[in-house]
Amino acid sequence: MNEIQGTQLIHKYLRHNKKFPHVFCPGCGHGIVLGSLVRSIDALGLAKDDVCIVAGIGCSGRLAVYVDFNTVHTTHGRALTFATGIKMARPEMNVIVVMGDGDSMAIGGNHLIHAARRNIGVTALILNNNIYGMTGGQCSPTTPSGSFSMTSPYGQMEQSFDCVELCRAAKANYVARGSVFHVNELDKMVTEAISNPGFGVVEIMTPCFTQFGRKNKYKSPVEMFNYLKKNVISQERYNDLSESDRDGKIPSGVFVKKSEPGIEEKYYAMARQVQEGI
């Protein structure tokens, strides 16, 4: 690593008149995602005015509040619908959506599937903390089977969604998974997802000690990061493991990378054709 441009750089993009330190609990991974997002936008050299951050409700949704871009803090589960409208109206804008796992895969699950199917040119960052953070720790579609939450005090019985498989099957252009412990890889994925055409998804494993860790076996935020360090492994390493060794391991990396044109590109191309035809 040569030049580290961490904190100083990030401060250039914050809304300093907002409440700081931010609202996230000590050791919440959401703050690290915020840093990664800012570094990626800076690395791409995007002007602040050309970026629109659309966030849903939840702790993850608060991210939009802190950054000095065009931002919309939308209703629970509807971030992708707002983003779709913005992208269709202003296709030159870099529209980046920030959602929690509950926001994107429970209440907003249908919108996720159809955003991927349409291949709308927005980038979705899915902050997967395995729980509903803001509303007090109810289980979410990604709460691992057997783990504990406010609403599964004897262990979660449901199966959990695999965000990567879901988005791949729904035909998103770009699908990746990273973690807040592996920040350098994460920065690369976020940068790539923003610059790739069509719908891009980065699932980000990020710990919630307050609502998930404490009810499970993690005694401190540091233990949650140790969990990520140990269990989030590259998909190459994951594929080499035997079936039984894969248990509990989370493959990361870029799973899908296509360059199909986004729906907005196709729409404007068609509109031009129709107008010229008249």
Partner 1 sequence: MSVKRKGKSKVTIFPDWCKGCGICAAFCPSKVMELSEQGKAVVVREEECVHCGFCELHCPDFAIMVQPKEDKEEINPKLSTNKSLDNKEQSSSATESSSGTSSSQVKEDN
Ligand X SMILES: Cc1ncc(C[n+]2csc(CCOP(=O)(O)OP(=O)(O)O)c2C)c(N)n1
Residues of this chain that bind ligand X (CB under 6 A): 57-60, 76, 100-103, 127, 129, 131-135, 140
Residue (135 or 226) nearer to ligand X, CB: 135
List 41, 105, 134, 175, residue binding partner 1 (CB under 8 A): 134
- Segment 49 to 108, residues that bind ligand SF4, using CB under 6 A: 59
- Segment 226 to 255, residues that bind partner 1, using CB under 8 A: none
Task: Pick the closest to residue 118 from 190, 202, 197 (CA basis).
Answer: 197
Task: Pick the closest to residue 172 from 134, 115, 229, 227 (CA basis).
Answer: 115
Q: Which does 220 bind (CB under 5 to 8 A by kind): partner 1, ligand X, ligand SF4, none?
A: partner 1
Distance CA 17, CA 21 (A): 11
Sheet holding 174-179, edge to edge: 70-73, 51-55, 94-100, 123-128, 200-205, 174-179, 250-257, 232-234
| Secondary element (H or E) of residue 42 | helix 30-43
Q: Which does 7 bind (CB under 5 to 8 A by kind): partner 1, ligand X, ligand SF4, none?
A: partner 1
Residue (156 or 211) nearer to ligand SF4, CB: 211
3-state secondary structure of 245: coil
Residue 129 binds ligand SF4 (CB under 6 A)? yes
Q: How many CB atoms lie within 10 A of CB 91?
A: 15
Non-local CB neighbours of 17 within 8 Å, separated by 6+ positions: none
Task: Pick the closest to residue 140 from 153, 127, 130 (CA basis).
Answer: 130
Residue 191 binds partner 1 (CB under 8 A)? no
Q: Which does 53 bind (CB under 5 to 8 A by kind): ligand X, ligand SF4, partner 1, none?
A: none
Please state the φ and ψ torsions of residue 225, each to the nearest 5 degrees.
Answer: -70, -35
Residue 130 binds ligand SF4 (CB under 6 A)? no
From 23-31, 113-121, 172-180, 245-253, span contacting ligand SF4 (CB under 6 A): 23-31
Residue (133 or 198) nearer to partner 1, CB: 133
User: What number of chain residues touch partner 1 (CB under 8 A)?
Assistant: 42
Distance CA 250, CA 90 (A): 36
Q: What residues make contact with partner 1 under the rule CB under 8 A?
A: 1, 4, 6-8, 10-11, 14, 16-17, 19-32, 35, 57, 59, 62, 133-136, 180-181, 183-184, 210-211, 220-222, 225
